[in-house]
Amino acid sequence: MQDINEPNFIKQIQAGDEDSFRRLLEVYGKTVYNTCLNFLQSAPDAEDITQEVFLSVHLSIQNFKNDSKLTTWIYRIAVTKSLDAIRMKKRKKRFGLMRAMFEDLNNEPIFDKPNFDHPGILLENKERASILFKAIDKLPENQRAAFLLNKIEQLSYNEVAAILQVSISAVESLLFRAKQNLQKILANYYEQNEK
Amino acid sequence: MISKEKWIEDTLELASVVRQVELPETLQENVLKRLPAMERGIASLQPYAKWTIAASIALLIVLNSFTFIKYADRGNRSSTENQANTIYSAYFSFIN
């Protein structure tokens, strides 16, 4: 991501300069959208949350102090908003499950998440990538965040630590556990489907 | 046929080949469209919203304190009345 962490640029946005905010959108829009897409595994949801992220940035830029990089701060908002949206979806899913117990929904498997067809994956890898994304979806939140930021967004341990506000050793541990869990989930899948 | 371990490793490796997707065309415009509306909302609220919220909280505290004091007092009074009634009914119990 191109970094524009210049105090003057931030001051201009804080002063309400629309052109600077437009520039911020141009520089960070793609990254925020891709982060949200990887977390939410749905293009329309990612679009909604990206909008929320920038509205949030616009609202709280006044409180931004240069104690972290602008990139880190925006990433943090994107991760938090995406995880909130996932939690909200899960709550809705639980409510839907309860409703289905009382209503006849013709036995439709409405709760199964559809396979995620990531637009950034080559055609020959699509099937296996959707298995990987389903497995990632089963990870605990912090492991999922660390894995997605490090492995897919290709951020360094330092950057992931700054975004998640944990130590570097905590990031290492999260990644180690994420990989272990993913191996277990994938092994399970392999036993059931690929063997 | 590939082994299980190889299949798992290959699948995990896919995480590093995910390419960045272009931003949907309308997204930037949608964000910019939502900003003025949001600003207007905030601007129209700011001058008096602070005082309205403060006044509401103060009123809530006053009403709660008033109700609490009133009911605490009533509780005390009714317990002394109950005590007095017990003494009188014991005193005049020979009538029944």
Interface contact B35-A37, CB threshold 8 A:
no
Min Cα–Cα distance to chain A from B46, Å = 14
Q: Does A178 touch chain B (CB under 8 A)?
A: no
* Chain B partners within 8 Å of A128 (Cβ): 10-11, 14
DSSP conformational letter for A103? S
Which stretches of chain A drop beneath a pLDDT of 70?
Answer: 1-6, 97, 100-114, 194-195
Domains of chain A: 1-114 (1.10.1740.10), 116-195 (1.10.10.10)
Residues whose CB is less than 8 angstroms from the CB of residue B94 and which lie 6 or more positions away in sequence, other chains included:
none
What pLDDT does residue A148 have?
96
Query: CA of A157: how far to CAs of A171, A179, B4, B55, in Å?
Result: 7, 15, 29, 49
Which of B6, B23, B26, B46 is the best residue to mutate to test the A interface, defined by the most A CB atoms within 10 Å of its own CB?
B23
What pLDDT does residue A109 have?
44
Does pTM top 0.80 for this prediction? no
What pLDDT does residue A178 have?
96
Chain A's closest residue to B29, CA to CA, is A22
Please name the member of A26, A54, A151 whose beta carbon is closest to the beta carbon of B15: A151
pLDDT single digits (tens) B74-88: 777 777 777 777 777
Q: Across chain A, what does the average pLDDT equal?
A: 87
Cα separation, B43 vs B35, in Å, equals 12
More confident residue, A176 or B68: A176
What pLDDT does residue B63 have?
94
**Does B96 have pLDDT greater than 70?**
no
**Does B72 have pLDDT greater than 90?**
no
Please name the member of B11, B18, B28 whose beta carbon is closest to the beta carbon of A120: B18
What pLDDT does residue A154 have?
93
* Chain A partners within 8 Å of B20 (Cβ): 30-31, 34, 120
User: Quick count: other Cβ atoms within 10 Å of Cβ B96?
Assistant: 5
Q: What is the ipTM of this complex?
A: 0.78
What pLDDT does residue A119 have?
83
Q: Does B43 touch chain A (CB under 8 A)?
A: no
Please name the member of A54, A119, A129 whose beta carbon is closest to the beta carbon of B14: A129
What pLDDT does residue A79 have?
96
Min Cα–Cα distance to chain B from A98, Å = 35
Q: Does B8 touch chain A (CB under 8 A)?
A: yes
What pLDDT does residue A83 have?
95
Longest alpha-carbon distance in chain B: 104
What pLDDT does residue B17 have?
87
Single out the residue of A177, A144, A179, A182 nearest to residue A160, CA to CA. Answer: A144
pLDDT single digits (tens) A104-133: 555 544 445 667 788 888 888 888 899 999
Average pLDDT on B51-68 reads 92
What pLDDT does residue B75 have?
72
Cα separation, B3 vs A53, in Å, equals 43
pLDDT single digits (tens) B7-52: 999 999 999 888 899 988 899 889 988 886 656 555 555 667 778 8
Cα separation, A85 vs A90, in Å, equals 9
What pLDDT does residue A111 have?
45
